[in-house]
Amino acid sequence: MATPQDVDKLTPTDPRMKHCTYTIPTNNKTYHYLLCEPPTPTPVTATCLLIHGFPDLSLGWRYQVPYLLSLGLRVIVPDLPGFGRTDAPKELEAYSFKAVVDDFVVLVRHVLGEGEDHEGERIVLGGHDWGGAVAWRFAMWYPELLRAVFSVCTPFWPASEHYLTKQELVKLLPTFGYQVQFEGTEVEEAVVGREKIRAFLSVMYGASREDGQAVFGVAKGVRIDLLEADKIGESPLLNKEEMEYYADEYVKNGMRGPLCWYKTGRVNFDEERKLLGEGKNKVTVPALMVTASRDAALPPAMAAGMDQYCVDLVKRGVDASHWALWEAPADVNKHIGEFLEGILKGQPLKASI
């Protein structure tokens, strides 16, 4: 079995990726994104938009991008609002699924250009964690713009008829207990400065305290009193160069922006009333769901009912924690590759309008 060390990946200074920015004309929100083109003379078979989650960055897809490039895909990987070099607006509405999906439609059109060569071109879309939720919503709002959608760890759920507070949601999904803490101000007020941010990220990426005490758990969240930088070990999932890059990127916006993603429940609910009104409760494009067997926050059981909401669904699993993109990259890539193989050969690049 291939280990992460055997899988090609982007480095923080990798020449295969170009750092770009684009400001959405309608709202002046500036996005940072990585743009990666297939190596010459590989022909471009499609464009793929990858969306990261929390607490992650565009570089979170570092193990997947080289593989997708080898398949001939042009890859666009933005930092979500609040993260890294993308703007961190004050208003929560800027972080809603619909707002970000609309931004990404404009961003992709910008990257592809407005020329005739790319008019009507449909893309492949992938997401992890919050990025998976955004990907599923993109597929609901704009299915005509997609050839396929895939998600790692994050299952699809339809728009809800009834609003649930975080406290009510946790009664149904106890593994979401940490979200109650993240919705408040405790973490963003306590995790300030590079050392504290680096310690927080290390813990979220699997690092332990030297004395063995648990600093984070999905049921309760982060033990702020135990988040002592000099007592937190190194993450087993990121090397030193990657960890320093992540810490530097997170210092730019701090934790307020990233944590806004846990505060938009009401905004999303209100905006998705339109989906319900239009009877849109299914994913109609080809879909792949990759679950991770040891994901404490999003266990595979959460994806059990997805078949009723997806017209064309493939389900696969990997032996990994929530950080499956990094822990089991060979298996994740294999599942994505097998899923896309038939789609890229069997579907036209452009929609028939």
Catalytic residues: 129, 322
Residue 34 tokens, joined: 């990585």
**Contact, 333 vs 9, CB < 8 A?**
no
* Angstrom distance (rounded) from CA 301 to CA 303: 5
| Residue 38: φ, ψ to 5° | -60, 145
Q: Which of 161, 158, 180, 183 is nearest to 169 (CA)?
A: 180
Q: What letter does residue 181 receive in the DSSP assignment? A: H
Q: Which of 320, 318, 315 is nearest to 295 (CA)?
A: 320
**Contact, 21 vs 85, CB < 8 A?**
yes
Residue environment code for 181-190, b if the CB has 16+ CB neighbours within 10 A, otherwise e: bbbeeebbee
Q: Which of 262, 176, 181, 187 is nearest to 224 (CA)?
A: 187
- How many CA atoms lie within 13 Å of 9's alpha carbon, on the beta-carbon side? 23
Longest dimension (CA), the chain: 62
* Angstrom distance (rounded) from CA 106 to CA 72: 23
Q: Which of 340, 298, 289, 342 is nearest to 316 (CA)?
A: 289
* C-alpha 347: how far from chain center: 25
